[in-house]
Structure 1
Amino acid sequence: MYTRGMEDKLITTSVSPTPEMIERAYQLATRFQCPFEERLHKTMNAFLRKADKVYMVGKLGRDMLYTADSEQPFFFHPSMAKIRVQRMLSGEVDPLVSIAQLRPGDDFLDLTLGLGADSIVASHAVAPAGNVVGVEKNPFIAEVVAQGLKHWDEDVPGLNEAMRSIMVVQQDHLAYLRALKDRSFDTVYVDPMFREARVHSAHLTPLRFWAEDEKVTKDVLKEAKRVARRAVVLKAERGSQIFTRLGFPEIKKHRSVSYGAMPAERGR
């Protein structure tokens, strides 16, 4: 048996897994190139004494990420997206939908998928004919969120359809942008907030132990403007220096966050 420090990550399952869960755990271990160990009756702390991080394949797509540095695991949940969609159904205008001018049939690219809340809202706004792609560099986060979007069930009209319609891409966002043709999406969206330590959320805290340190650089912005047909939209903490650094006007301010929009590159 290996001891803590010999392995960075390992794969296991929840207690009493189905044969399908075990098979999927083996597949993930092969894909992620890390060991699989049967759960049996071992506690998660027992696994965390062997590896720094543990991916647990859960029932009904409820996978979880555990780390010794966080008391709580990371798992998918629609989070504020559920409330925002409910508000949209009652006639309220969502700030992201407003600033991005989203409408049915639009193509929306989210460069910082994270938990996927903004992508879910966008997917609801562009339904039924629109497309939403969410890019996430970390393969473990991408897998947990992709499974959650596929299996999570809510009783809010249109919310399940919005989640199922999102395509998750596991890749560096700059590399993904560079491979796209000009004007591929109506809106390109970036939200680096969940990677910033100043933003406090009990559910986002575990995510930071897994998230890649992807910066929103001027190269990313240049490619995003080329790929967008309408605009590039940025969300950040209110008063964040990222607006100044990237030249975004901070045009829609809320209590804790602000949005900015930059027109797409013209003449292509």
Structure 2
Amino acid sequence: MRKAGNMDKFFITTGRKIDEKSYKKAQQLAEKCQMPFVERDGKSLEQLKIEQQLDKILLVKKTKIVIVTAVGELFFHPNMAQLRIKKLLKKEPDNMIEAMGLKAGMTVLDCTLGFAADALVSSFISKIQVVGLETDELLSLVISDGLKNYNSGITAMDEAMRNIKVININYKDYLRQLPDDSFDIVYFDPMFRHPLQDSIHLQPLRQLADISAVDAESIVQARRVARKKVVFKENSKSREFSRLGFTKIAGGRYSNVHYGVMNI
């Protein structure tokens, strides 16, 4: 793994309670990511920050990897995806799934993986591998590790997590590499360029994720790659739908999230 720009401000350490497995994992990640590994020695994270003169930490704990920043912690958790999947198990509708027209056996490319919530719901329905793209190396590492190791207690959801393939690449580059008609659905969730008031929990993610606008050329490439639909998630009041040529809009009447849909 090459050392990305934002890795320069990170160091790796373990939780206060050290076990052999997480200790070895932290050392391996330090070598892989070319980051300094710092022994915990019972010190607080703030003490370590001062000593290392670095302000961000990759914290390897027994059950998860945590990115620690000044605005909060970031780690994998299914969050809203878990609630959505529980509703789907009760045969309740999901706006994203309906916008996609997603059925079992259909392939999905999630161009903006983030916390992988939408990829997880997609994987639960499709029952086959979903490919998720993430530009940031640290974020892709943390989310990929979580998808492999998190146990929800719901067998179908755990299977859906294991069925997501995370690729650390910019979607613009990946789309250009793909042959025509590679996926049934190509999906974008560009981090809401106008953040919602209730999205404070996303602040650590915004420090790492690419929140730039999706360009028109990427939509052209997505249409080439998709066999059935291109789906674009945004704030319901966003002008991005019209800018990018989405004329069909799906989503709940009172929802603050809508989905632009292009049928191929």
- With normalisation by structure 2, the TM-score equals 0.90
2:201 counterpart SS class = coil
Deviation at 1:195, TM superposition (A): 5.9
Counterpart Cα distance in 2 of 1:156 and 1:185:
27
Letter aligned with residue 120 of structure 2: I
Summarize deviations over 1:81-127 as a string: whole Å, max 9, x none: 11111111111121111111111111111011111110110001011
Provide closer, same or farther for how the CA distance between residues 160 and 176 of structure 1 changes in structure 2, counting only shifts above 3 A. Answer: same
Provide closer, same or farther for how the CA distance between residues 199 and 150 of structure 1 changes in structure 2, counting only shifts above 3 A. Answer: farther
Counterpart Cα distance in 1 of 2:129 and 2:144:
15
Contact 1:16 1:40 (C-alpha < 8 Å) held by counterparts = no
Question: 1:22 maps to what in 2?
Answer: 23
Question: 1:186 maps to what in 2?
Answer: 184
Counterpart Cα distance in 2 of 1:43 and 1:237:
39
Letter aligned with residue 9 of structure 2: D
Counterpart Cα distance in 2 of 1:124 and 1:111:
18
Provide closer, same or farther for how the CA distance between residues 83 and 198 of structure 1 changes in structure 2, counting only shifts above 3 A. Answer: closer
Coordinate RMSD, CA, aligned:
1.7
Once the two structures are overlaid, the 10-residue window that deviates more, 130-139 or 186-195, is 186-195
Letter aligned with residue 53 of structure 1: K
Letter aligned with residue 92 of structure 2: E
Counterpart Cα distance in 1 of 2:85 and 2:249:
23
Question: 2:69 maps to what in 1?
Answer: 67
2:214 to 209, 213, 216: 216
Tell me whether 1:34 sits opposite 2:35 in the alignment: yes
Letter aligned with residue 153 of structure 1: N
Counterpart Cα distance in 2 of 1:67 and 1:210:
10
Deviation at 1:199, TM superposition (A): 5.0
Name the count of aligned residue pairs: 253
Contact 2:192 2:234 (C-alpha < 8 Å) held by counterparts = no
Deviation at 1:239, TM superposition (A): 1.3
Summarize deviations over 1:209-257 as a string: whole Å, max 9, x none: 2223443111211111111111110110011011111011252133211
Provide closer, same or farther for how the CA distance between residues 188 and 95 of structure 1 changes in structure 2, counting only shifts above 3 A. Answer: same
Question: 1:56 maps to what in 2?
Answer: 59
Contact 1:109 1:134 (C-alpha < 8 Å) held by counterparts = yes
User: Percent of aligned positions with the same letter in both sequences?
Assistant: 38
1:55 counterpart SS class = strand
Contact 1:11 1:55 (C-alpha < 8 Å) held by counterparts = yes
- Structure 1 residues not aligned, in runs of 5+: 1-6
Tell me whether 1:249 sits opposite 2:247 in the alignment: yes
Q: After the TM superposition, which residues 78-157 of structure 1 pair with which residues of structure 2 at under 5 Å, given as runs?
A: 78-127=78-127, 130-157=128-155
- With normalisation by structure 1, the TM-score equals 0.89
Counterpart Cα distance in 2 of 1:102 and 1:206:
31
Counterpart Cα distance in 2 of 1:111 and 1:248:
17
Counterpart Cα distance in 1 of 2:195 and 2:95:
23
Counterpart Cα distance in 2 of 1:103 and 1:117:
18
- Structure 2 residues not aligned, in runs of 5+: 1-7
Contact 2:182 2:225 (C-alpha < 8 Å) held by counterparts = yes
1:113 counterpart SS class = coil
Question: 2:4 maps to what in 1?
Answer: none
Counterpart Cα distance in 1 of 2:226 and 2:31:
36
